[in-house]
Protein backbone atom coordinates (compact mmCIF):
# COMPACT_ATOMS: atom_id res chain seq x y z
CA UNK A 1 0.00 0.00 0.00
CA UNK A 2 1.67 3.20 -1.14
CA UNK A 3 2.18 6.24 1.03
CA UNK A 4 4.41 8.82 -0.65
CA UNK A 5 4.90 6.46 -3.57
CA UNK A 6 2.83 5.45 -6.56
CA UNK A 7 0.71 2.43 -5.63
CA UNK A 8 0.53 1.24 -9.21
CA UNK A 9 3.91 -0.06 -10.32
CA UNK A 10 3.76 0.88 -13.99
CA UNK A 11 7.11 -0.77 -14.75
CA UNK A 12 5.94 -4.15 -13.48
CA UNK A 13 2.59 -4.88 -15.03
CA UNK A 14 0.66 -8.06 -14.38
CA UNK A 15 -1.50 -10.00 -16.82
CA UNK A 16 -4.48 -8.24 -15.22
CA UNK A 17 -3.15 -4.89 -16.42
CA UNK A 18 -3.06 -6.19 -19.99
CA UNK A 19 -6.74 -7.22 -19.75
CA UNK A 20 -7.50 -3.83 -18.20
CA UNK A 21 -5.73 -2.18 -21.15
CA UNK A 22 -7.71 -4.28 -23.65
CA UNK A 23 -10.91 -3.35 -21.83
CA UNK A 24 -10.12 0.35 -22.28
CA UNK A 25 -9.57 -0.19 -25.99
CA UNK A 26 -12.14 -2.86 -26.85
CA UNK A 27 -14.76 -2.74 -24.09
CA UNK A 28 -16.06 0.71 -25.01
CA UNK A 29 -19.22 -0.02 -26.96
CA UNK A 30 -22.79 1.07 -26.39
CA UNK A 31 -25.70 -1.41 -26.09
CA UNK A 32 -27.99 1.34 -27.35
CA UNK A 33 -26.04 1.75 -30.59
CA UNK A 34 -27.21 -1.49 -32.25
CA UNK A 35 -29.93 -1.06 -34.84
CA UNK A 36 -32.68 -3.58 -34.02
CA UNK A 37 -35.13 -2.79 -36.86
CA UNK A 38 -34.13 -5.82 -38.94
CA UNK A 39 -34.22 -7.97 -35.78
CA UNK A 40 -37.82 -6.90 -35.12
CA UNK A 41 -38.79 -7.83 -38.68
CA UNK A 42 -36.94 -11.17 -38.52
CA UNK A 43 -38.58 -11.97 -35.19
CA UNK A 44 -42.01 -11.64 -36.78
CA UNK A 45 -41.31 -13.44 -40.05
CA UNK A 46 -38.40 -15.86 -39.67
CA UNK A 47 -39.35 -17.80 -36.53
CA UNK A 48 -42.07 -20.30 -35.73
CA UNK A 49 -43.75 -20.15 -32.31
CA UNK A 50 -41.72 -23.15 -31.14
CA UNK A 51 -38.49 -21.53 -32.27
CA UNK A 52 -39.43 -18.30 -30.54
CA UNK A 53 -40.07 -20.21 -27.35
CA UNK A 54 -36.63 -21.87 -27.42
CA UNK A 55 -34.87 -18.63 -28.29
CA UNK A 56 -36.57 -16.60 -25.56
CA UNK A 57 -35.79 -19.35 -23.07
CA UNK A 58 -32.09 -19.04 -23.92
CA UNK A 59 -32.24 -15.26 -23.73
CA UNK A 60 -34.00 -15.45 -20.36
CA UNK A 61 -31.09 -17.45 -19.01
CA UNK A 62 -28.73 -14.85 -20.42
CA UNK A 63 -30.64 -11.91 -19.07
CA UNK A 64 -30.93 -13.46 -15.59
CA UNK A 65 -27.29 -14.54 -15.65
CA UNK A 66 -26.03 -11.10 -16.69
CA UNK A 67 -28.17 -9.36 -14.06
CA UNK A 68 -26.95 -11.82 -11.43
CA UNK A 69 -23.25 -11.26 -12.22
CA UNK A 70 -23.79 -7.48 -12.33
CA UNK A 71 -25.37 -7.51 -8.88
CA UNK A 72 -22.80 -9.80 -7.24
CA UNK A 73 -19.38 -8.62 -8.51
CA UNK A 74 -18.85 -5.59 -6.24
CA UNK A 75 -17.31 -7.52 -3.27
CA UNK A 76 -14.69 -9.14 -5.53
CA UNK A 77 -12.41 -6.11 -5.94
CA UNK A 78 -12.86 -5.33 -2.21
CA UNK A 79 -11.72 -8.85 -1.34
CA UNK A 80 -8.75 -8.68 -3.72
CA UNK A 81 -7.74 -5.36 -2.14
CA UNK A 82 -7.83 -6.94 1.34
CA UNK A 83 -5.27 -9.65 0.43
CA UNK A 84 -1.97 -9.10 2.21
CA UNK A 85 1.18 -9.68 0.11
CA UNK A 86 -0.48 -12.18 -2.22
CA UNK A 87 2.40 -12.32 -4.75
CA UNK A 88 0.67 -10.14 -7.35
CA UNK A 89 -0.30 -6.48 -7.52
CA UNK A 90 -3.82 -6.24 -6.10
CA UNK A 91 -4.36 -2.74 -7.50
CA UNK A 92 -3.96 -3.90 -11.11
CA UNK A 93 -6.47 -6.68 -10.47
CA UNK A 94 -8.90 -4.23 -8.82
CA UNK A 95 -8.56 -1.94 -11.84
CA UNK A 96 -9.43 -4.78 -14.17
CA UNK A 97 -12.44 -5.82 -12.07
CA UNK A 98 -13.87 -2.29 -12.31
CA UNK A 99 -13.93 -2.69 -16.11
CA UNK A 100 -15.69 -6.00 -15.68
CA UNK A 101 -18.44 -4.54 -13.49
CA UNK A 102 -19.12 -1.86 -16.09
CA UNK A 103 -19.16 -4.44 -18.88
CA UNK A 104 -21.58 -6.74 -17.04
CA UNK A 105 -23.89 -3.76 -16.63
CA UNK A 106 -23.86 -3.24 -20.38
CA UNK A 107 -24.60 -6.91 -21.04
CA UNK A 108 -27.58 -6.68 -18.70
CA UNK A 109 -28.67 -3.52 -20.49
CA UNK A 110 -28.45 -5.12 -23.93
CA UNK A 111 -30.65 -8.09 -23.01
CA UNK A 112 -33.10 -5.82 -21.21
CA UNK A 113 -33.33 -3.66 -24.34
CA UNK A 114 -33.73 -6.72 -26.55
CA UNK A 115 -36.60 -8.08 -24.46
CA UNK A 116 -38.36 -4.74 -24.59
CA UNK A 117 -37.81 -3.82 -28.23
CA UNK A 118 -37.73 -7.17 -30.04
CA UNK A 119 -39.64 -9.60 -27.82
CA UNK A 120 -42.06 -6.86 -26.73
CA UNK A 121 -41.95 -7.87 -23.07
CA UNK A 122 -39.80 -7.49 -19.95
CA UNK A 123 -41.06 -10.82 -18.67
CA UNK A 124 -38.26 -13.40 -18.51
CA UNK A 125 -40.82 -16.09 -17.72
CA UNK A 126 -42.25 -15.10 -21.08
CA UNK A 127 -45.93 -15.00 -20.24
CA UNK A 128 -46.93 -15.49 -23.87
CA UNK A 129 -45.86 -19.13 -23.75
CA UNK A 130 -46.68 -22.11 -21.60
CA UNK A 131 -44.12 -21.56 -18.85
CA UNK A 132 -43.89 -25.13 -17.62
CA UNK A 133 -40.26 -26.24 -17.12
CA UNK A 134 -39.05 -22.85 -18.28
CA UNK A 135 -36.37 -22.87 -15.61
CA UNK A 136 -34.25 -25.72 -14.38
CA UNK A 137 -34.24 -25.34 -10.53
CA UNK A 138 -30.61 -26.43 -10.03
CA UNK A 139 -29.45 -23.91 -12.62
CA UNK A 140 -31.56 -21.18 -11.08
CA UNK A 141 -29.98 -21.85 -7.65
CA UNK A 142 -26.46 -21.90 -8.99
CA UNK A 143 -26.82 -18.88 -11.26
CA UNK A 144 -28.78 -16.63 -8.93
CA UNK A 145 -29.27 -17.68 -5.28
CA UNK A 146 -25.91 -19.40 -4.67
CA UNK A 147 -23.95 -16.72 -6.52
CA UNK A 148 -25.60 -14.11 -4.31
CA UNK A 149 -24.80 -16.18 -1.20
CA UNK A 150 -21.12 -16.55 -2.09
CA UNK A 151 -20.93 -12.83 -2.88
CA UNK A 152 -22.41 -12.01 0.57
CA UNK A 153 -19.96 -14.38 2.17
CA UNK A 154 -17.11 -12.68 0.33
CA UNK A 155 -18.24 -9.28 1.60
CA UNK A 156 -18.01 -10.60 5.17
CA UNK A 157 -14.65 -12.31 4.48
CA UNK A 158 -13.05 -8.93 3.70
CA UNK A 159 -12.81 -8.44 7.49
CA UNK A 160 -11.89 -12.06 8.28
CA UNK A 161 -8.45 -13.63 8.72
CA UNK A 162 -6.34 -14.11 5.59
CA UNK A 163 -6.85 -17.88 5.38
CA UNK A 164 -10.63 -17.44 5.37
CA UNK A 165 -10.41 -14.59 2.89
CA UNK A 166 -8.30 -16.61 0.43
CA UNK A 167 -10.56 -19.64 0.73
CA UNK A 168 -13.75 -17.62 0.29
CA UNK A 169 -12.33 -15.67 -2.63
CA UNK A 170 -11.28 -18.93 -4.31
CA UNK A 171 -14.83 -20.20 -3.93
CA UNK A 172 -16.33 -16.99 -5.26
CA UNK A 173 -14.00 -16.80 -8.27
CA UNK A 174 -14.46 -20.49 -9.13
CA UNK A 175 -18.24 -20.09 -8.93
CA UNK A 176 -18.47 -16.82 -10.88
CA UNK A 177 -15.60 -16.87 -13.38
CA UNK A 178 -14.83 -20.61 -13.40
CA UNK A 179 -18.37 -21.92 -13.87
CA UNK A 180 -20.91 -19.17 -14.58
CA UNK A 181 -18.69 -17.40 -17.13
CA UNK A 182 -16.25 -20.03 -18.42
CA UNK A 183 -18.84 -22.82 -18.58
CA UNK A 184 -22.49 -21.76 -18.49
CA UNK A 185 -22.16 -18.52 -20.48
CA UNK A 186 -19.69 -20.02 -22.95
CA UNK A 187 -21.90 -23.04 -23.59
CA UNK A 188 -24.93 -20.77 -23.96
CA UNK A 189 -23.21 -18.42 -26.38
CA UNK A 190 -21.98 -21.39 -28.37
CA UNK A 191 -25.55 -22.60 -28.80
CA UNK A 192 -26.72 -19.11 -29.83
CA UNK A 193 -23.90 -18.71 -32.34
CA UNK A 194 -24.53 -22.09 -33.90
CA UNK A 195 -28.25 -21.43 -34.16
CA UNK A 196 -27.93 -17.90 -35.57
CA UNK A 197 -25.35 -19.05 -38.08
CA UNK A 198 -27.77 -21.65 -39.41
CA UNK A 199 -30.67 -19.19 -39.43
CA UNK A 200 -28.89 -16.11 -40.77
CA UNK A 201 -31.26 -13.82 -38.85
CA UNK A 202 -31.18 -11.14 -36.13
CA UNK A 203 -28.11 -9.10 -37.26
CA UNK A 204 -28.32 -6.65 -34.33
CA UNK A 205 -28.31 -9.51 -31.86
CA UNK A 206 -25.37 -11.17 -33.61
CA UNK A 207 -23.32 -7.97 -33.59
CA UNK A 208 -23.96 -7.38 -29.89
CA UNK A 209 -23.20 -10.98 -28.96
CA UNK A 210 -19.84 -10.64 -30.67
CA UNK A 211 -18.97 -7.71 -28.41
CA UNK A 212 -20.30 -9.46 -25.30
CA UNK A 213 -18.30 -12.60 -26.09
CA UNK A 214 -15.14 -10.55 -26.48
CA UNK A 215 -15.71 -8.96 -23.06
CA UNK A 216 -16.38 -12.38 -21.56
CA UNK A 217 -13.10 -13.69 -22.98
CA UNK A 218 -11.22 -11.18 -20.81
CA UNK A 219 -13.33 -11.94 -17.73
CA UNK A 220 -12.69 -15.66 -18.12
CA UNK A 221 -8.95 -15.32 -18.77
CA UNK A 222 -8.58 -13.05 -15.74
CA UNK A 223 -10.70 -15.41 -13.60
CA UNK A 224 -8.51 -18.37 -14.48
CA UNK A 225 -5.41 -16.33 -13.72
CA UNK A 226 -6.85 -15.30 -10.36
CA UNK A 227 -7.75 -18.91 -9.55
CA UNK A 228 -4.12 -19.85 -10.26
CA UNK A 229 -2.83 -17.01 -8.04
CA UNK A 230 -5.05 -18.16 -5.16
CA UNK A 231 -3.89 -21.77 -5.60
CA UNK A 232 -0.35 -20.43 -5.37
CA UNK A 233 -1.14 -18.78 -2.01
CA UNK A 234 -3.06 -21.79 -0.65
CA UNK A 235 -2.70 -25.01 -2.68
CA UNK A 236 -5.51 -26.69 -0.68
CA UNK A 237 -8.13 -24.62 -2.54
CA UNK A 238 -7.74 -26.90 -5.56
CA UNK A 239 -8.91 -30.01 -3.74
CA UNK A 240 -11.25 -28.29 -1.29
CA UNK A 241 -12.86 -25.72 -3.57
CA UNK A 242 -12.12 -26.05 -7.29
CA UNK A 243 -12.54 -29.79 -7.74
CA UNK A 244 -15.87 -30.07 -5.84
CA UNK A 245 -17.15 -27.02 -7.73
CA UNK A 246 -16.42 -28.60 -11.11
CA UNK A 247 -17.76 -31.92 -9.93
CA UNK A 248 -21.06 -30.25 -9.06
CA UNK A 249 -21.11 -28.62 -12.49
CA UNK A 250 -20.51 -31.82 -14.42
CA UNK A 251 -22.66 -34.05 -12.18
CA UNK A 252 -25.69 -31.88 -11.50
CA UNK A 253 -25.70 -28.82 -13.69
CA UNK A 254 -24.45 -29.41 -17.23
CA UNK A 255 -26.78 -32.23 -18.27
CA UNK A 256 -30.02 -30.65 -16.98
CA UNK A 257 -28.98 -27.25 -18.37
CA UNK A 258 -28.39 -28.60 -21.85
CA UNK A 259 -31.64 -30.61 -21.71
CA UNK A 260 -33.47 -27.48 -20.58
CA UNK A 261 -32.06 -25.43 -23.46
CA UNK A 262 -32.91 -28.19 -25.92
CA UNK A 263 -36.54 -29.02 -25.10
CA UNK A 264 -38.03 -30.22 -28.40
CA UNK A 265 -35.15 -28.34 -30.02
CA UNK A 266 -36.90 -26.66 -32.97
CA UNK A 267 -33.79 -24.51 -33.59
CA UNK A 268 -31.61 -27.60 -34.05
CA UNK A 269 -29.03 -26.92 -31.36
CA UNK A 270 -26.25 -29.52 -31.30
CA UNK A 271 -26.18 -30.97 -27.76
CA UNK A 272 -22.96 -32.93 -28.35
CA UNK A 273 -21.22 -29.72 -29.36
CA UNK A 274 -22.32 -28.14 -26.07
CA UNK A 275 -20.96 -31.04 -24.00
CA UNK A 276 -17.68 -30.96 -25.93
CA UNK A 277 -17.47 -27.19 -25.44
CA UNK A 278 -17.98 -27.61 -21.68
CA UNK A 279 -15.23 -30.21 -21.44
CA UNK A 280 -12.85 -28.12 -23.55
CA UNK A 281 -13.49 -25.09 -21.33
CA UNK A 282 -12.87 -27.15 -18.22
CA UNK A 283 -9.57 -28.39 -19.68
CA UNK A 284 -8.49 -24.80 -20.43
CA UNK A 285 -9.30 -23.77 -16.85
CA UNK A 286 -7.37 -26.72 -15.41
CA UNK A 287 -4.40 -25.98 -17.68
CA UNK A 288 -4.40 -22.30 -16.64
CA UNK A 289 -4.39 -23.19 -12.95
CA UNK A 290 -1.86 -26.00 -13.48
CA UNK A 291 -2.97 -29.53 -14.41
CA UNK A 292 -0.44 -30.99 -11.95
CA UNK A 293 -2.43 -29.45 -9.08
CA UNK A 294 -5.54 -31.47 -9.95
CA UNK A 295 -6.10 -34.99 -8.65
CA UNK A 296 -8.80 -36.22 -10.98
CA UNK A 297 -10.51 -35.34 -14.26
CA UNK A 298 -13.97 -34.54 -12.92
CA UNK A 299 -15.30 -33.70 -16.40
CA UNK A 300 -15.54 -37.43 -17.17
CA UNK A 301 -18.30 -37.70 -14.52
CA UNK A 302 -20.80 -35.93 -16.77
CA UNK A 303 -20.50 -38.47 -19.61
Residues in touch with Fe ion (CB under 5 A): 66, 104, 107, 181, 216, 219
Q: Which residue lies nearer to Fe ion by CB, 72 or 168?
A: 72
Residue 284 C-beta: closest distance to Fe ion, Å: 16
Residue 269 C-beta: closest distance to Fe ion, Å: 21
Q: Which residue lies nearer to Fe ion by CB, 57 or 107?
A: 107
Q: At what angle do helices 49-72 and 146-157 cross, to 10 degrees?
A: 10
- Burial of 7 (C-beta count, 10 Å sphere; 0-12/13-18/19+): exposed
CA distance linking residue 74 with residue 122, whole number of Å: 25
Instruction: Tell me the three state secondary structure of residue 151.
Output: helix
CA distance linking residue 94 with residue 181, whole number of Å: 18
CA distance linking residue 278 with residue 261, whole number of Å: 14
Residue 233 C-beta: closest distance to Fe ion, Å: 24
Q: Which residue lies nearer to Fe ion by CB, 64 or 66?
A: 66
> Do 223 and 181 contact (CB within 8 A), yes or no?
yes
Q: Which residue lies nearer to Fe ion by CB, 233 or 245?
A: 245
Q: Which residue lies nearer to Fe ion by CB, 66 or 183?
A: 66
CA distance linking residue 62 with residue 116, whole number of Å: 15
CA distance linking residue 70 with residue 61, whole number of Å: 14
Residue 104 C-beta: closest distance to Fe ion, Å: 5
Residue 218 C-beta: closest distance to Fe ion, Å: 8
Amino acid sequence: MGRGTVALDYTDRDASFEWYRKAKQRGVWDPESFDLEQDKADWETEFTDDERYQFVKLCSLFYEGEESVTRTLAPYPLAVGALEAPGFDTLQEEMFLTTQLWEESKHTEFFSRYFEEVFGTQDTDYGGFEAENFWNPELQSFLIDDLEAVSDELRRAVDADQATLVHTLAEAVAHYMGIVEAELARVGYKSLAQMLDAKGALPGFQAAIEKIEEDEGRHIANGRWLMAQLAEIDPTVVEEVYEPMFERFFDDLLGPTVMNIMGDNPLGIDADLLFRTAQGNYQSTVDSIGAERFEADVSAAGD
